[in-house]
Structure 1
């Protein structure tokens, strides 16, 4: 009996000090290619971070090459309406013009493993264009990240219908550009990852965002969070919608 009680006590003590259940997080930083100093600081973040490079920026090609050489995942941050510029997609443009702009943007951002939308609240709500895009990315063996800049997006739903490797964003880090607000969003990401097993966060190379990430990323492991590459997150989610984006793994907007 004494031996049994000792065994139970040891088991309970072990449970009390057990590490938290592991949850996964991926972080994407958008709008890169504009400023060499911010780009370099982003590249130096302590952990796997996906780097979304805008094609219509002065350092897009050079930074994409630099990031790829450093072993980071590079994706094309594709401008979509209401974004403007020579690469931007707009409702009403013929598929041939959308294809031309996508081709040009991918040339400008070498080594892109996938695409996410820059802005795009109007464009990602266009079923025909989004269906074409997902088929084209499938042909090119690229993945897609729905930044979810609008609740009306059908982008991830079309990716799911196509069978294209994809994920959807869960949390924006820096809609409010103060360290306190960004820390609160990061905590929201941690809580969500613990609740649903994973979380995808998107931020920008603002000084406040980089300051918070530089300090907090090394602390995530002690909170039971494992930072993973975006490709691993795609595999982890297996093209399923998270509860905030749909029901029973299927996206609500179809």
Structure 2
């Protein structure tokens, strides 16, 4: 009698487990962090390398410490990307819509030489440049040839950069949240929580910040708490794999960039 009761109980429990909805298990929530505008100030930028996790270091080519800091970041095990100046950015490396492809290539080559160990690139500024389909198509094909990925910083709603990357299945991903458009610790903390909430909602979020003192103070304080908030902090390559080149709802429809 006792044996039959135990067997019946086990069967009931097994049936209950099978009846639980699939959504009852918390889904993964992934977060990636990119810090832009690096290479200008070594003591400041080294605080970025000291952050406790897989920060991506986006280094500008037209900065005094670009090459040296790229080497330091690489030695520290961080992923290095080229923070490529694009119109309305100015300077010797900046891309502008009126430049011929030959000049764009010359400037890209020079930028890659200045920033070694790069795994990919993202755009610095670029609201005008990333809206140029022909130039963005050329860039994505060039990056594919070089075996590098692309991160669309999405500095403009008119960007077609990620769209062009998706067309040729180039490894790429798009930014979801800027942390520090407003340079106060309160505002940056709010943006970080926005990114965390978005990661829980859609499964992942890509954050971009800058090495401002306020940003670094918030990150130094809050990043060690991510795990307790159900967040897996992953590097940019892992994020590209997680998203499989699909657009998030804020970037397109049904996984296709608009």
> TM-score range with shorter-chain normalisation?
over 0.9
**1:222-237 matches, cutoff 5 A:** 222-237=228-243
- Counterpart secondary structure, 1:135: helix
Match of 1:80 in 2: 86
Aligned-residue offset at 1:22: 2.6
CA RMSD in angstroms comes to 1.9
Q: What is the correspondence of 1:238-249 to structure 2 with a 5 Å cutoff?
A: 238-249=244-255
Asked whether 1:125 is paired with 2:136, we answer no
Which secondary structure state, in structure 2, belongs to the residue aligned with residue 244 of structure 1?
Answer: coil
One of 179, 191, 202 as aligned partner of 2:197: 191
Q: Does 1:22 align with 2:28?
A: yes
Report the Cα distance in structure 2 between the residues aligned to 1:123 and 1:78, rounded to whole angstroms: 11
Find 2:119's aligned residue among 113, 118, 123.
113
The answer to whether the 8 A contact 2:165-2:172 is kept is: yes
Deviations along 1:176-205, one digit per CA (max 9) or x if unpaired, are: 000000000000000000000000000000
Give me the whole-angstrom Cα distance separating, in 1, the residues matched to 2:141 and 2:222.
Answer: 38
**CA contact under 8 A between 2:27 and 2:203: conserved in structure 1?**
no
Question: How many angstroms apart in 2 are the aligned matches of 1:51 and 1:236?
Answer: 20
Q: CA deviation at 1:37?
A: 1.1
- Give 1:80-159 correspondences, 5 Å limit: 80-159=86-165
Once the two structures are TM-superposed, the CA of residue 163 in structure 1 deviates from its matched residue by 1.0
TM-score, normalised on structure 2? Answer: 0.91
Structure 1: which 5+ residue stretches go unaligned?
12-17
With over 3 angstroms needed to count, the CA separation of the structure-2 counterparts of 1:67 and 1:129, relative to structure 1, is same
Distance 2:248 2:98 in 1: 31
Q: CA separation in 2, counterparts of 1:200 and 1:77?
A: 16
CA distance in 2, matches of 1:36, 1:62: 9
Write the distance in 2 (CA, Å) between the matches of 1:119 and 1:93. 17
Q: 3-state SS of the aligned residue for 2:103?
A: helix
Shift of 1:120: 0.1
CA distance in 1, matches of 2:238, 2:133: 27
Divergent runs of 4+, >3 A: 1-4, 18-21
Aligned-partner SS, 2:151: strand
Tell me the CA shift for residue 19 of structure 1.
8.9
Aligned match of 1:14:
none
User: Given the superposition, is the C-alpha separation of residues 208 and 20 from structure 1 closer, same or farther in structure 2, using an over 3 Å criterion?
Assistant: farther
Verify: 1:33 aligned to 2:39, yes or no: yes
Is 1:212 equivalent to 2:229 in the alignment?
no
The TM-score with structure 1 as length reference comes to 0.92
Count of aligned pairs: 244
The alignment partner of 1:31 has SS state of strand
Query: Does structure 2 conserve the Cα–Cα contact (< 8 Å) formed by 1:20 and 1:223?
Result: no
Partner residue of 2:67?
A: 61
- Provide the residue aligned with 2:52 in structure 1: 46
